[in-house]
Structure 1
Amino acid sequence: MVVENRVAKPSLSYVILISVVAAIGGFLFGFDTAVINGAVAAIQGGFGATSTQIGFAVSSALLGSAVGAFFAGQFADRYGRVKSMMVASGLFLISAIGSGLASGIIDFSVWRLLGGVAVGAASVIAPAYIAEVAPAHLRGRLGSLQQLAIVVGIFVALVCDYFIAVAAGSAASPFWFGVTAWRWMFWTEVPPALLYGIGAFLIPESPRYLVAQGNETQAARVLAKVEGGDVERKVADIRLTVIRERKPRLSDLLSRSGGLLAIVWIGIGLSIFQQFVGINVIFYYSSVLWRSVGFSEADSLWITVITSVTNIVTTLIAIAFVDKFGRKPLLLLGSVGMFLTLGTMATVFANAPLDAAGNPNLVGTSGLVALLAANLYVFCFGFSWGPIVWVLLGEMFNNKIRGAALSVAAAMQWIANFMVSTTFPVILKNFGLGSAYGLYTIAAAISFFFVFMLVRETKGKQLEEM
């Protein structure tokens, strides 16, 4: 197909707008995973669930996320990034409504599993789409919008939980129209889910996907708006990297020797270490954690809100510097910071005296030290491993394998998330918080050497150079 040769001027506002719409998936990602934080105790009490059942209810969303992430790339390569966003929007909507209507722990877990599928899909689609529409010199900052949206979603979910619980008296008390407060916590996800679907309907398809489908004229129109320059040359460059005689499939990720390509293993490693440093323990169990060391329900939720604000601020720092300093330096600095702060928390909790119930009793300055260390840890994660991993996963794979490779890496991220989240209560009960944070400290140390030895800088490179 012939593309008219022209030199176009890009529209920065347009690029930002469509990237923000794609990042709403990240907002829902964060919102959906964090909204259960303030509802766990009320759900367990309301349904008379055992600790095992409530643990599975929390982690079922993570299993769904692994499934959603694994298949999202193939779906997006076959049907497009935009249609994939629309499907994810519908799943978010159905899950939010169903979770609030659940009549027992089993159907609640099913609705959470469905929401997890949507989260997994969003975790793949948004970084791929943003990487494919963003100019090279802005790709790091725009790619970081995914993580910013995630942490904003976490923040909004926690704020909603906090104010609903305070207004009702507790998450287990009646709220509007006599409906239990925790049900309203899940229904607050309905408006952003609808907004995501509407926004996806209005934005253009990825130019890389359009070229792969042979629609070069439409791809040129999109490229003219988002990148500018010599559009014909850009389309030709993309064409060379997406030429294929068949639809992409997972076998494209295999090397000639039969194993996964080295770049795919690196993506998997980044995903696993992002979770093995224990970040989601802070967001999934923080209110339970802080209550276990003596804080009230309201104070525990408020501390969690403060922690999420810290995450937002540091993600903004990452957006400001990722295209200046590069991806690798920020990851290395973050690993060092997480090692020090996690080590501090491990030491504090390991040496804390226990109360009659066997919970650590942080007396004197130890409670303040733990609180500061936790927030500094989130600070270190927030400017490094939080956003930078998503940026790298969106850009480090070549055009032929991006969708499939991102799916595998993101699926492994959710499996790692599941492992950390489900083992934390067991470690907490049998070995204590000190041991849990000690394991995450070791993971932070190993992550430094992983990045130093294996990760290559991608700052300023075109996707066609990957």
Structure 2
Amino acid sequence: MSSDSLDLNDVDTTPIQPAVTNSENIGFVVFISCIATIGGFLFGFDSGVINGTVDGLQQAFNSNSVGTGFNVASMLLGCAVGAFFAGTLADVYGRRALLIVAAVLFIISAWGSGVAGSSFEFVIYRIIGGLAVGAASVMAPAYISEVAPAQYRGMLTTIQQVAIIFGLFMAFVSNYLLADVAGSAVTPLWLNFEAWRWMFWIELAPATLFLFALLFIPESPRFLVASGKKQAAQKVLAKLYGSDNAVLKVNEIDASLAKDHHRPKLSDLIDKVSGKVRPIVWVGIGLAVFQQLVGINVVFYYGAVLWQAVGFSESDALLINVISGGVSIAACIITMAVIDKVGRKPLLVIGSIGMTITLAAMVFAFANSATDPNGNLVLGGLGTLALIAANAYVFFFNISWGPVMWVMLGEMFPNQIRGSGLAIAGLAQWGANFAITMTFPIMLASIGLAGAYGFYAICALISVGFVFKLVHETKGVELEDMQG
């Protein structure tokens, strides 16, 4: 035999596995993930645009503090309903279909919120916008997690949070520029419509782009397998991972559903042996609720009101919002770079501890400030501390609970219950968001800023224990291996 011949003793006799080539089409995965995250951008823009319109709403609709709180928070009722039904309907009609419905609702809400002539009419259009935000909030991360390879899933799903914060940031920038050009949010601008109305109409451009772009993305392959459309799923997976990987992945997805293979439904969240709600569902609810109990959306929705209450002008308050948005984007980019390396759980712990400390610093500043004859806080030398602590708080939130909560909700549930699990967690998240947003003006008028932020600080502290005890790491775990 020649020296090139094989020695049979060197031959590996391990059973041959199907050949798999590393032919992932990362460019295509990133492309469709970015399209899905336009929904996140609109989620952020629609949530943040209200920040600069509060004075306009009060003047246009002559509302008191409770009425203003409801006008601001009304969208969140739609968000809760939208998140719940999007999660369940997505198991019937598909992830892509629900994103398209969300895009249409964004367009309707943006136009209607600007033309509203009464508080009732405004609330209706904001609830429609809420349906869109709720649907996009759960469907975009779910879609991305179901098309992305496990080793990139955290990074790609985090793009959703970057898009949300960028949407908030652009809403703050847009509000600031429009108010600056007009002179104030309540001053007429183009076509004799007040600037606050134009703040809503600006959203029509990205909403229309979202609707058009969704026509170019495929349906989730995991939804297609669950719906019995294996051939269609294989075609999508071939585009995502290559033809060899596609066959194996279809079989893996099918096997993960085989033990209880039927169309997913809400009752799947109940363990058939114990008759109780599956523990993973309670963890999802806990993650969703704690993200809101730390008070982050008070900063997003009432940032301008907050900073005016401590002595800044309307223009300066809007500019501070822009700075906070920039800090948020920087924090999310850091998370994108490290989430698939350090994992989800360590980031949540770091964020909870950081938010507890920075919220406590804000409480200290607010509690030790003076009050002027109009009832506004005068921080004096503590103003710098409050401003630094507030932006540090935003930073800690956006390297942790901001993106990581959505990443985990999109990936932690087994295939059979992902839609239903997201529906319940999304309902809880937006319900808590509504409660926090609705009660802030009332808390501000009763126990003051120090009392309100003291409550958020306590919740941040409790979240540390919740993460340590109940949250399990999902870094690098295939969706087919998630246990419920």
**Where on the TM-score scale, by shorter chain, does this alignment land: which range?**
over 0.9
What's the counterpart of residue 329 of structure 1?
A: 346
Q: Deviations over 1:435-466 (max 9, x none)?
A: 11111111111101100111111111100000
Counterpart of 2:252, as a letter, is D
| SS of structure 2 residue aligned to 1:294 | coil
* Mapped pair 1:238 → 2:219: no
Any residues of structure 2 matched to 1:23-422 within 5 Å, and which? 23-228=37-242, 230-243=245-258, 246-256=262-272, 257-364=274-381, 366-422=382-438
Q: For 1:235, give the aligned amino acid.
A: V
Partners of 1:136 and 1:5 lie apart in 2 by 19
Distance 1:461 1:169, change over 3 A: same
The gaps in structure 2 that reach 5 residues or longer are 1-17
Q: Which moved more, 1:298-307 or 1:211-220?
A: 211-220
Tell me, yes or no, if the aligned pair for 2:414 and 2:480 is still in contact at 8 Å.
yes
How far did residue 5 of structure 1 move? Answer: 8.6
Conserved? CA contact 1:72–1:407, under 8 Å: yes
- Identify which of 444, 449, 452 aligns with 1:436: 452
Work out whether 1:457 is the aligned partner of 2:447: no
> Quick one: which amino acid aligns to residue 450 of structure 2?
G
CA drift of 1:183 comes to 0.7
Determine if contact 1:398/1:464 at 8 Å carries over to the other structure: yes
- Contact 1:143–1:391, Cα closer than 8 Å, also in 2: yes
Residue 215 of structure 1: CA displacement?
2.0
Output the CA distance in 2 between the equivalents of 1:363 and 1:448. 33
* Structure 2 letter corresponding to 1:389: M
Rounded Cα–Cα distance in structure 2 between residues aligned with 1:448 and 1:302:
32
Shift of 1:218: 2.2
Q: Report the equivalent of 2:9.
A: none
TM-score, normalisation: structure 1 = 0.97
**1:224 Cα deviation after fit:** 2.2
Distance (Å, rounded) in 1 between the aligned partners of 2:181 and 2:200: 16
Deviation at 1:299, TM superposition (A): 0.5
**Alpha-carbon distance, 1:50 to partner:** 2.5
User: Partner of 1:259: helix, strand, or coil?
Assistant: coil
Compute the displacement of 1:227 (Å): 2.9
Residues in 2 aligned to 1:232 and 1:42: alpha-carbon distance in whole angstroms: 57
The Cα of 1:220 is off from its aligned counterpart by 1.7
Q: CA deviation at 1:179?
A: 1.3
Q: Unpaired segments of 5 or more residues in structure 1? A: none
Structure 1 residue 245: deviation in Å?
5.2
CA–CA distance in structure 1, aligned partners of residues 101 and 184 of structure 2: 34
Matching residue's letter, 2:198: W
Matching residue's letter, 1:438: G
CA distance, structure 2, for counterparts of residue 284 and residue 153 of structure 1: 13
Residue 43 (structure 1) shift: 1.5
Q: Quote the offset at 1:236 in angstroms.
A: 0.4
Amino acid at match of 1:116: G
Which has the higher mean CA deviation after the structures are superposed, 252-261 or 147-156? 252-261
Q: Is the 8 A contact 2:65 2:442 kept in 1?
A: no
The answer to whether the 8 A contact 1:28-1:153 is kept is yes
Corresponding letter in the other structure for 2:372: D
Contact 1:42 1:182 in 2 (8 A): yes
CA RMSD of aligned residues (A): 1.3
Contact 2:66 2:442 in 1 (8 A): no
d(CA) in 1 for partners of 2:337, 2:19: 34
- Give the deviation of 1:359 after TM superposition: 2.0
CA offset digits 1:379-404 (Å, max 9, x no partner): 10010010000000000000000011
Instruction: Kindly indicate whether the alpha-carbon contact (under 8 Å) linking 1:30 and 1:149 is maintained by their aligned counterparts in 2.
Output: yes
Shift of 1:44: 1.0
What is the SS of the residue equivalent to 2:185? coil
* 1:221 shift after superposition: 2.2
Identity among equivalent positions (%) equals: 53
Q: Decide whether the 8 Å contact of 1:294 with 1:361 is kept in 2.
A: yes
Q: Which is greater in Rg?
A: 2
Tell me if structure 2 keeps the 8 A contact 1:212–1:239. Answer: yes
Tell me if the contact between 1:11 and 1:225 (Cα under 8 Å) persists in the aligned partners: yes
Asked if 2 retains the 8 angstrom alpha-carbon contact of 1:67 and 1:117, the reply is yes
- Rounded Cα–Cα distance in structure 2 between residues aligned with 1:35 and 1:231: 42
Q: Is the deviation greater in 219-228 or in 350-359?
A: 219-228
Deviates more, 1:102-111 or 1:235-244: 235-244
Alignment match, 1:447:
463
How many residues matched?
A: 462
1:9 aligned to which of 23, 32, 44:
23
Tell me if the contact between 1:9 and 1:224 (Cα under 8 Å) persists in the aligned partners.
no
SS of equivalent to 1:290: helix
Partner of 2:3: none
